[in-house]
Homo-oligomer: A and B are copies of this chain.
Amino acid sequence: MSTFTVVVLLSSLLLANANDFNSFIFSGEYEFLDLTYPFDNFTIYWPEVQRFIFTKKLETNLDDGAWYATNDYASGEHVGTHLDAPFHFAEHGIKVGDIPVDKLIVPLIIIDMRSKVNDDPNFVLEKHHLDHMLNDNFGKPCAVLVRFGWGKFYHDREQYLGLKSDGSLNFPGISAEVAKWIVESYKNVVAVGVDVASLDPGSSKDYMVHQILLGAGLYQMENVNFGNHTLPDSGCLGIALPMKIAAGTGAPLRLVAMCPKQVPTSFD
């Protein structure tokens, strides 16, 4: 076989692969679901944390008549839909800018707890809730998203955080036991996310889940916005791209799921 032939063959192979991949995007069999809250006046912030501030700077017609508009913004890192880097709770953990992209684009495992939570702010995800997963083998890197059904309260900050007059917070979360189990049993889980303001339950004082997961090098996603989307337990690809704040302990996150389109599975 001549060098030329090899070149042509390999080029064709590459082209075929590329076309195969991009063709998925336009096959009509997938849809992109944006699991991100917008940054605006409703953006959730933790007590005593710098909230998201948006400042209109210019919005005008220039001398030549052209329109021109630009703004400034400011925020704490852990506000709205955001990512926690290991350094947030682990002195020797990596920062946002150091998380490799191939840990940010991984298949999603969805744990839908809505019917068990039933709007109870004291719900804590315990290991016995996950018995059905004991035999699952997450053979490839993946991110786990726990859905408590808390998004319905997002636009009422007091209810979403469960803020009480004594200053306490009250919303569902994950138990330390589950965090340990994920780290010890599922070495391929690279991230855990939730649709509440923290992976630890609102009432937590020691943030053990943060300490365990971030301490083990996983990253976290908080205030995930499921909206009204129905996501299959598996089969979606998660695309979790944070603002690349080099030394960030966290950063605003754009989280998108690429999922098989939900088609009717029965015609009767």
Q: What is the distance, in angstroms, from A139's C-beta to the closest C-beta of chain B?
A: 9
* Interface check A203, CB cutoff 8 A: no
Check if B206 sits within 8 Å of A64, measured CB to CB. yes
Any B CB within 8 A of the CB of A135: no
In the complex, are the beta carbons of B21 and A237 less than 8 A apart?
A: yes
B70 touches A73 (CB 8 A): no
Task: Report the bound CA distance from A11 to B232 in whole Å.
Answer: 11
Inter-chain contact B102/A243, CB cutoff 8 Å? no
**CB-CB contacts of A228-257 with B at 8 A, as 1s and 0s?**
000010111101011111111110101010
A249 and B71 within 8 A (CB): yes
Interface size class of A (residues with CB under 8 A): 35 or more
Residue of B nearest to A88 (CB): B69
Chain B proximity mask over A183-208: 1 for CB below 8 Å, otherwise 0: 00000000000000000000000110
Instruction: List chain B residues, Cβ under 8 A from A76.
Output: 57, 70-72
On chain B, the residues within 8 Å of A247 by CB distance are: 40, 54, 71
Measured CA separation A70–B101 after assembly (Å): 22
Q: Which residues of B contact A140 (CB under 8 A)?
A: 22, 25-26
A9-B161 Cα distance, complex, nearest whole Å:
43
Residue of B20, B22, B50, B235 near A22 (CB, 8 A) is B235
Interface 1/0 per residue, A253-267 and B, CB below 8 Å: 010101010010111
Q: CB < 8 Å: which of B71, B235, B243 contacts A248?
A: B71
A34 within 8 A of B: yes
Do the beta carbons of A25 and B66 come within 8 Å of each other? no
Query: In whole Å, how far is A197's beta carbon from the nearest beta carbon of chain B?
Result: 14
Return A76 CB to nearest CB of chain B, in Å.
5
A74 to B54, CA, bound (A): 10
Chain B residues, Cβ within 8 Å of A239: 105, 239, 241
Q: List 6 A-B contacts (CB under 8 A).
A: A21-B237, A66-B89, A67-B90, A71-B248, A72-B76, A243-B252
